[in-house]
Amino acid sequence: MARNAKGIKTLIRLSKFNVDEKRRVLTSLQTAEDQILADIDHAEHRLIEEQKIAAADATGVGYLYGAYHRAWRDHRNEQDRALMNVRAQIEAARDDLAEAYRQLKTYEVTQANREKLEREEADRKEQIFLDEVGMTQFRRREEAANEG
């Protein structure tokens, strides 16, 4: 049973490492999502500023705003695609993490059950030994009383 205990402990260690690795991946993806959202927000503010500049322009260079807006829209579409992509990856990473965590918990419960059974077996053997000692002492006292 000691060999099995070592094997399950190794599986638990590997599973903990796997869970940690999955957490790191998820955190990295969430950071990427936050960055994309921040980029979108920054681009939105920049667009509003460019609109104000174009509206206030009296020199006639406001026509450049149309080209800026088209480039902004194209960039925004790219950002939206990147956001959808990273969110799909986040969902997959969450599923992977949940599965890795379930596997870890399975190993931990198995280990706890094995340890409980080993303790119960050790307690049972100790009780048998103590019962034998008690019976031996009882028999000796009975024999001593019968001899005397």
CATH fold for domain 2-147? Helix Hairpins (1.10.287)
Other C-beta atoms closer than 10 Å to the C-beta of 18 total 17
Mean of per-residue pLDDT scores for the chain: 91
CB 111 within 8 A of CB 9: yes
Chain centroid to CA 112: how far? 21
Tens-digit pLDDT profile for residues 76-128 = 999 999 999 999 999 999 999 999 999 999 999 999 999 999 999 999 999 99
19 by Cβ neighbours in 10 Å (0-12 / 13-18 / 19+) ranks as buried
Residue 57, phi then psi, degrees to nearest 5: -75, 125
Residue 18, phi then psi, degrees to nearest 5: -60, -45
pLDDT of residue 56: 81
Instruction: For residue 1, give every residue at least 6 positions away whose Cβ sits within 8 Å of its Cβ, in sequence order, or none.
Output: 114, 118
DSSP one-letter code for 59 = S
C-alpha to C-alpha distances, 74 to 43, 69, 70, 77, 86, nearest whole angstrom: 12, 9, 6, 5, 18
Task: Delimit the domains of the chain by residue range.
Answer: 2-147
pLDDT of residue 77: 97
pTM for the whole structure: 0.73
